């Protein structure tokens, strides 16, 4: 069963069959977004052997410093469980950020243009 949760800047749907979090982020992520969502994400994915990510950045403005710190702590705690991550965006900074993240986090991370959304979703879900 898929579960949907959201905050002011993020909407997340779980796809348990493929251990995937489908995330749509817009605007600037805040610490309040992470405080609201991380406990739910950790509960929903606790039994998953790995976590795949399908992330759509839509008019995305990045993170507040406290939100970036919360994101980093989550990544460090759970990075050994990361599988594939598809990042869909349309800016050079999003492409660059994906390349950098691929260097420092385990798992496979790929950047896709918005026109490649279907291919990105298929690539992530194929990791099951």
Question: For 35-92, how does the pLDDT look when each residue is reduced to its tens digit (9 = 90+)?
Answer: 998 898 888 899 999 999 999 999 988 889 999 899 888 888 888 898 999 999 987 7
- Number of domains observed in the structure of the chain: 1
| CA atoms of 92 and 9, how far apart (whole Å) | 21
Q: Where are the alpha helices (DSSP H) in 25-91?
A: 31-45, 65-78
pTM above 0.85, yes or no: yes
Q: Which two tokens stand for residue 43?
A: 């509960």
The enclosing domain of 56 has a CATH number of 3.40.50.10600
| Domain range for 105 | 4-126
Of 4-8, 14-18, 52-56, the least confident? 4-8
Per-residue pLDDT averaged across 16-28, rounded?
Answer: 93
């Amino acid at each position: 069963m898929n579960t949907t949760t959201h905050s002011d800047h993020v909407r997340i749907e779980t796809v348990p069959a493929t251990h995937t979090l489908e995330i749509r982020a817009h605007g600037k992520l805040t610490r309040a977004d992470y405080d609201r969502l991380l406990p739910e994400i950790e509960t929903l994915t606790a039994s998953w052997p790995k976590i795949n990510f399908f992330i759509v950045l839509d008019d995305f403005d990045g993170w507040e410093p406290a939100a970036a710190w919360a994101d980093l702590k989550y990544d460090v705690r759970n990075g050994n469980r990361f599988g594939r991550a598809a990042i869909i965006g349309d800016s050079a900074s999003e492409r660059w950020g994906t390349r950098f993240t691929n260097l420092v986090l385990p798992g496979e991370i790929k950047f896709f243009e918005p026109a490649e959304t279907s291919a990105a979703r298929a690539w992530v879900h194929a990791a099951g």
